[in-house]
Amino acid sequence: MNRPLLSVSLVSVAVLAALPTVAHAQPTTAAPTKITIGIFAPSVEFDRAQARLAYAQGLAKAIESNTGIKTEAQSYASLAALKKDDVDFAIVDGLCVATNPGWKLLANAQIGGGSARPWALFSGAGGDMQGLKGKKLAYVQMGCNDGAFVDNAMLNSEVDANFFSARVGKGDLTAAVAEVASYKGAQAVFAPIGAQKGLTRVFETGMVPNPGFVALSSKVPAAIADKVGAAVVGYGGGGAIASWASPSRAPFSALDGQLRKNTKLPTFAAPDPVRFDSKDVLLDLATLKDTALTDVRQHFSRPTGRME
């Protein structure tokens, strides 16, 4: 009589035991069959466009060797074109990394022994800053808040927007320097120290971070992205980018803070406390010590008429 009930109970237990397995099953992201990386680094002095692409292709081979996934590389003339192609990873100029804090940073480019380089304003006409008033300024056109980079980060918000008669944006650092040194299409240029090609340094502007290697696609599993980052940090291809270091957002955050207009306010120094003796403000008059006697009759008045 009790056997049917026992059978139902056993079936219920079996169903309940299977439920947690179904509830906790998580879909896994499949590893990609191909990885694409791009490079947009106009502030780095590659000899020519082919050298820029060759560097990216060498890095792609190192990534493919470390991940076992076919990796392709492509060079871009603008950040907009790189974004349009929806690449998975990219070498991107420091200014663009600074203005896109949502990108996952995997490595910092090392040039000249550090993750950032000192920049300066260079002139082809010699002289000082006032001698450049009304002249043309060449700059590397990166498409990442270039105006704020020039006005605030480079000029520290101290120069009027109309100081230069015109601004000439060039596609890379080599072209920007040549615009002043060779073609004479401009008389001043912002560039890293060491890239000035015989131009006169007017003044140093501060440190600017080198490019960063960033992850742009959310489709690549985290484990694969970690392998890609490790391959980049270990890459020693040399050339315009000597090597790579572990990711640090500090130099990019510092540059991002410099892009904001710097409004200077007057500073008032705290006055020194003044201590003085009471004798300095209270006069001890000598006349207070003089004494004299007055006739009592001077205190009474005699009436003119007779009193009855």
The reply to whether 132 falls in a domain is yes
Strand order in the sheet with 104-110: 70-75, 34-40, 89-92, 212-215, 104-110, 243-245
Please tell me whether residues 96 and 128 are part of one structural domain. no
The reply to whether 159 falls in a domain is yes
Query: Residue 240 is part of a domain; what is its CATH number?
Result: 3.40.190.10
Q: 185 and 136 in contact (C-beta within 8 Å)?
A: yes
Number of H-type helices and E-type strands within the chain: 8, 11
Give pLDDT, residue 236.
83
The reply to whether 175 falls in a domain is yes
Please tell me whether residues 138 and 185 are part of one structural domain. yes
> pLDDT of the chain along its 308 residues, tens only?
454 444 444 444 444 445 444 444 445 568 899 999 999 999 999 988 899 999 999 999 999 999 999 999 999 999 999 999 999 999 999 999 999 999 999 999 999 999 999 999 999 988 899 999 999 999 999 999 999 999 999 999 999 989 999 999 999 999 999 999 999 999 999 999 999 989 999 999 999 999 999 999 989 999 999 999 999 999 987 789 999 999 999 999 999 999 999 876 556 666 666 665 666 656 555 555 556 665 655 555 566 665 55
Please tell me whether residues 126 and 147 are part of one structural domain. yes
Q: Which two tokens stand for residue 219?
A: 């489709």
Please tell me whether residues 103 and 216 are part of one structural domain. yes
β-bridge partners, 201: 122
Please tell me whether residues 98 and 221 are part of one structural domain. yes
Residue by residue, DSSP assigns 73-133 as EEE-SSHHHHHHTT-SEEEE-HHHHHT-TTSEEEEEEEBTTBSEEEEEEEESS-S-GGGGT
| CB < 8 Å & 24+ apart, contacts of 277-281 | none
Give pLDDT, residue 23.
44
Q: Which two tokens stand for residue 76?
A: 């871009």
Give pLDDT, residue 108.
98
Which sign does the torsion angle of CA 67, 72, 77, 78 carry? negative
Give pLDDT, residue 239.
83
Please tell me whether residues 90 and 43 are part of one structural domain. yes
Please tell me whether residues 177 and 61 are part of one structural domain. no
Q: Residue 33 to residues 17, 30, 71, 221, 240: CA-CA distances in angstroms?
A: 37, 9, 9, 12, 30
The reply to whether 71 falls in a domain is yes
The reply to whether 72 falls in a domain is yes
Give pLDDT, residue 210.
98
Report which secondary-structure segment, H or E, holds 233: helix 222-233
Please tell me whether residues 100 and 136 are part of one structural domain. no
Report the domain count for the chain: 2
| Beta carbons within 8 Å of 273's beta carbon, 6+ residues apart | none
Please tell me whether residues 108 and 121 are part of one structural domain. no
Last residue of a domain, one of 208, 239, 267: 208
Please tell me whether residues 57 and 200 are part of one structural domain. no
The reply to whether 65 falls in a domain is yes
Range of the domain at 152: 117-208
Which 8-state DSSP code applies to residue 24? T
| Beta carbons within 8 Å of 188's beta carbon, 6+ residues apart | 121, 122, 123, 124, 125, 132, 135, 136, 137, 138, 164, 180, 202
User: What's the length of the chain?
Assistant: 308
Give pLDDT, residue 288.
53
Half-sphere exposure of 187 (CA within 13 A, CB side): 17
The reply to whether 93 falls in a domain is yes
Please tell me whether residues 149 and 223 are part of one structural domain. no
Please tell me whether residues 134 and 168 are part of one structural domain. yes
CA angle 226, 231, 237 (to 5 degrees): 155
The reply to whether 299 falls in a domain is no
